[in-house]
Structures are given as C-alpha cells and as structure tokens.
Structure 1
Amino acid sequence: MPGLFSGLVAFAAYFVGAIGYCIVFGLIYTRLTAHDEFDLIVRQHNASAGLAFGGALIGFALALAGAVHNTRSALEFMVWGLVAMLSQFLAYGVARLLHPGLSNAIAQNALASAYWVASVSIASGLLAAACMSP
C-alpha cells in the first residue's frame, strides 16, 4: 500500500504541475499572437481561433507528456516543461513566418490557416516529446 500512496502523490504533483504549465502556456501564447483568442473563441465563436489555439495546446500537452514520462525529479520536469513551451513558441513563430497573414486569417475565420498552425503545433509537440528521451 505504501507504493500506491507514493504513486498517487507523484501523480498529483505531476498533474498539478502540468495543469499549471498549461495555464502559463495559454497566458503567454495568447499574448504572442496578434489576434485576441479569448474574444474570438468565447465572444465571436470563431472556429479558426478555437482550432488554432486548441492545436497549440495539444502540441504543448504532447511535449509536456514527454517531459512527465522522461523526468525523474521536479526540477527536471520544470526544465523540460520550459523547453516544451519554448519549442511551441518557436513553432508558432515558424508557422507565422511561413504564413505572414496568419493572425488576420484566423481572425477572419479562415479554417485553412487554423489547420496550418494547429498542424505545425501538434507536429512540433510530437517531435519535442520524442526528443526528450533519457
């Protein structure tokens, strides 16, 4: 039974840490974009903004899952979580570089642009997770 308890404590610590990282990621990511995700998603029901932001969050969560899986301490998790976050910001920068009107397109609810940035984000998250091997 002691192993179960320590496993539950570890689960709780990683889960709370991952949720905290997701909140921080969302707050920073929405400041990096030129469009206002909250307004577009919540008030205007813009599907493109929801898809783009959701893809970015999924991509980050995939990379963060790699960090959880491959770390052995809270400090390691914090470092690799930061690496995961930075890799997502870099992925968004690349997506925006290759599609200069990305934010305007998303604000105009252009689904092709949303699929583009969501795909880049998810691909980046998968690659980052795979690269976080011990």
Structure 2
Amino acid sequence: MEVIFQSFVSGLPLLLIHFGVTLIMLALGIFTYVLVTPYNEITLVKKGNPSAALSFSGALIGIAIPLSVAMAGSVNTMDIVVFGAVAIILQLLGYRITDLLLKGLPSRIENNEISAAITMVGIKISISLVNAAALSV
C-alpha cells in the first residue's frame, strides 16, 4: 500500500502541471476562436441564443478533444504546448474554412436557426476527431 501511495504522491505534481497547462491551452484556443469567429457568439449566448450556445459548445468540445490527445501522448510539458498549439491552429483553420465554404451558416446561427447550429457542431466535432487522430500517429 505504501508503494501505491508513494507513486501517487510522486506523480501528482506532474499530473497537475499537465492538467493545468492543457486547461491554459484550452482557454487560449477558445480566446483565439472568439477573435476569429465572424460573429460574437458569447454576446449571442448572453442574449439567450440557443444556436450560438450550441455552436460555442461545439467549439469548446472541438478544441478540447485534440488537446486531450496531445496531453495523453505527451512525454513532457513542452510536448503539450507544441502539439497543443498545432492542434488549436488546425482546429481554428478548419473552423475558418467551414465558415468560408458555408457562407450562410454563421449568419443562420446569428439568426438562431438550430439546424445550422447542429450542422456546425457536427462539423466542429468531426474536424476535432480527425485532428486528434492525426496527433496520435
């Protein structure tokens, strides 16, 4: 039992550091997402727009999935930062390309069309799954 406890105590600081760094990366990714989104989702969410809330939730999940893979596959904290940054860039690039290809989708989310938001969430999560798989190779 003492060996298990010592293992826990010795590994806990690294776990907390990796967890904290990944949460910081998630916050930076979401902050950047808010800057590059063609409409202000947070304002729309505050006004009670369910479509914007769905889309923003999809972005949160979409950025968190590849970041979790980056953390799981990391050897050290720098791995999380480097591969996390790559994951965020790829994710945001995918979101931006989607906005450009499906020009009407962002404005439909602004207008609270749930079907557009559900489509956007599906796209965001799909991109994140491919992104996460690429990171795990």
Answer yes or no: is 1:48 the counterpart of 2:51: yes
- Tell me the equivalent position of 2:13: 9
Aligned to 1:67: 70
Distance in structure 2 (CA, Å) of the matches to 1:82 and 1:45: 31
Structure 1 portions without partners, runs of 5+: none
Aligned-pair CA distance for 1:94: 2.2
* TM-score, normalisation: structure 1: 0.92
Give RMSD over aligned pairs: 1.3
Instruction: Say if 2:59 and 2:121, in contact at 8 Å, map to a contact too.
Output: yes
Runs of 4+ in 1 over 2 A off after TM superposition: none
Deviation, 1:97, is 2.2
Deviation at 1:55, TM superposition (A): 0.5
Match of 1:105 in 2: 108
Give the TM-score of the pair, scaled to structure 2. 0.90
Which protein is bigger by CA-based radius of gyration? 2
Shift of 1:58: 0.3
The 2-side partners of 1:6 and 1:99 are apart by: 50
* 8 A contact 2:51–2:114 mirrored in 1: yes
Q: Counterparts of 1:54-133 in structure 2 under 5 Å?
A: 54-133=57-136
C-alpha contact 2:52 2:110 (8 A) present in aligned 1: yes
Q: Which runs of 5+ in 2 are unaligned?
A: none
1:64-97, Cα deviation, whole Å (9 max, x unpaired): 0110111101111101100110111111122112
Match of 2:37 in 1: 33
**1:95–1:116 contact (8 Å) kept in structure 2:** no
* Partner SS, residue 91 of structure 2: helix
Contact between 1:106 and 1:114, CA under 8 Å: does it hold in 2? yes
Shift of 1:14: 1.4
Shift of 1:103: 2.1
AA aligned to 1:68 is M
